[in-house]
Amino acid sequence: MPKGGRKGGHKGRARQYTSPEEIDAQLQAEKQKVRQEEEEQGEEGGDGAAGDPKKEKKSLDSDESEDEEDDYQQKRKGVEGLIDIENPNRVAQTTKKVTQLDLDGPKELSRREREEIEKQKAKERYMKMHLAGKTEQAKADLARLAIIRRQREEAARKKEEERKAKDDATLSGKRMQSLSLNK
């Protein structure tokens, strides 16, 4: 039985995530509310012909920058909303159009990719030298093979000599038997 004595607590429920489309719709609704409030404040303040065109001009020119600023302000936590802090390490993500991408230019490799390529080239060079017999390991292997060949040749010679000695012994034994039977 689960802790607490009841079945079906709040911890086992499925989480509900909002889709990116819903988030965008909420942001657009908030922007519209802010614009309506600005318009209402402008109407309450009187004519203000000099102030309103500047605000409208600014809002029309910087629609894209407002989107970026709203995203950044939405992510702020804690004291960041009160204090304006600029992080020099924060890189604003810029999206490139397909026409702006440079596919023909030389691609810079990361450190890991460069190291991996260098490792592969070094391994290939070593294998070529090893096959040519120029590395220490190849020399040791060839020396070991030469020793083993000599040992096998000596063992083969000894077997051949033993076989000949045995054949000679059997032949001489048969001759003696034949001579003794002939007498």
Compute how many other C-beta atoms are within 10 angstroms of the C-beta atom of residue 80.
Answer: 13
Sequence-separated (6 or more) residues with CB below 8 Å from residue 11: none
Question: Best-predicted range by mean pLDDT among 31-40, 54-63, 148-157?
Answer: 148-157
Question: Is the residue at 63 inside a domain?
Answer: no
Sequence-separated (6 or more) residues with CB below 8 Å from residue 73: 81
Residue showing tokens 């060839």: 142
| Number of domains present in the structure of the chain | 1
142: its two tokens = 């060839």
Worst-scoring range by mean pLDDT, 29-33, 68-72, 121-125, 163-167?
A: 68-72
Higher pLDDT: 16 or 21? It is: 21
Higher pLDDT: 111 or 1? It is: 111
Task: Tell me the residue range of the domain where 132 lies.
Answer: 109-182
Given a cut of 90, whether residue 172 has pLDDT beyond it is no
Residue showing tokens 């000949």: 164
Question: Is the residue at 96 inside a domain?
Answer: no
